[in-house]
Amino acid sequence: MRPEPPRNADTVAEVGEFGLIRRVTAGRTQPPTTLLGPGDDAAVVAAPDGRVVVSTDVLVEGVHFRLDWSSPEQVGRKAAAVNLADVAAMGALPTALLIGLACPPDTPSAVVEGITAGLWQEAAVAGAGVVGGDMVSSATLVISVTALGDMNGYEPITRSGAQVGDVVAVCGRLGWAAGGLAVLGRGFRSPVAVVGAQRNPEPPYAAGPQAAAAGATAMIDVSDGLLADLGHIAEESGIGIDIRTELLEVHPRLLDVASALGADARHWVLTGGEDHALAATFPEPAAVPDGWRTIGTVRHGGGVTVDGRGYEKPPGWEHWR
């Protein structure tokens, strides 16, 4: 359920496409990589490295966000974060966002303005700009974001480079967004820190280029769950991964929330998505950068195990399942 809009609030149909575009782009500051921003047929973005990293995600109301759970600004920040994290997971520096937004004609213009404000805010956190996009009418509110990045002289860190003997490390929060989703699903709005992790993820953008500089052999954005996403590295690299639970960080706040809900905080950490931490493999423990924490090793075989055994529950989120 959406919250009721204020009385006398104008809608996107009343403001019009071009009026709305003017509202959401006026007075915005762009980073140096934006050579030509919104307002022309296409944008121009600098690529000092000569290679452009590109990633796209689509967020659908009712599937990826709810406006009775999150403010429009939080939805916008989340839409930007999930894409910018993918760029960082390649070891790249985020440079720009392109936004596609579809919504019903009776959508309050304040909702769209709030979403775009959040997009601009999160882009600025990552050092990127919002350089263009499109708005169309639709029966459902949908946000499509394409993120661009620059490799800054490093080779892209793919999912296929992990080697037996590497160590596995993560940077960023794990399990917090899953805990927040569980709290919201029970009809609660606190504790704020846990609920806020679901509404507004905080990917460690700088950790991607940091891992590239440290010689990471493989890397991925943890969007669907740690075990599920490490499974992609295991499959693409042709190796196995073992996670050690004694090395996982389970924050006391998560333990408290899980206890109150009758849930398992460790399960959130292992399988919860939407925190957008980064997980990577490094050739030796000494190569793991500051701010990262080692959680396991790369082994012979395939798949992902926990303490040497298969995990009995679903490893994370998967669409159409």
- Which DSSP string corresponds to 258-272? HHHHT--HHHHHHH-
Count of positions (residues) in the chain: 321
Q: What is the pLDDT of residue 320?
A: 40
> Helical H runs in 39-188?
72-89, 109-126, 176-185
The per-residue pLDDT for range 207-239, each reduced to its tens digit, is 999 999 999 999 999 999 999 999 999 999 999
- How distant is the alpha carbon of residue 200 from its chain centre? 9
Mean pLDDT, all residues of the chain: 93
pLDDT tens profile 153-168: 999 999 999 999 999 9
- What are the Cα distances from residue 262, in Å, to 150, 184, 205? 44, 15, 33
- Choose the CATH number for 167-310 among 3.40.50.2300, 3.90.650.10, 3.30.1490.20, 1.10.10.10: 3.90.650.10
Q: Tell me the mean pLDDT in the region 124-152.
A: 96
Tell which CATH architecture fits domain 12-150: 2-Layer Sandwich (3.30)
Average pLDDT on 117-146 reads 96
Residue 303 has pLDDT above 70, yes or no: yes
* Alpha-carbon dihedral 247, 250, 252, 253, rounded to 10 degrees: 160
Sorted by where each begins, the domain ranges of the chain are 12-150, 167-310
HSE-up of residue 63 (Cα within 13 Å, Cβ side): 14
* Cis preceding linkage at 191, omega within 30: yes
Distance CA 68, CA 210 (A): 37
* pLDDT tens digits, 183-209: 999 999 999 999 999 999 999 999 999
Domains 12-150 and 167-310 belong to one CATH topology = no
> Binding site for substrate: residue ranges?
64, 274, 317
Query: Using only C-alpha atoms, what is the Rg of the chain?
Result: 20
Binding residues for ATP: 133-134, 159, 223
Which DSSP symbol is given to 5?
P
Residue 72: what are its φ and ψ, rounded to 5°?
A: -55, -40
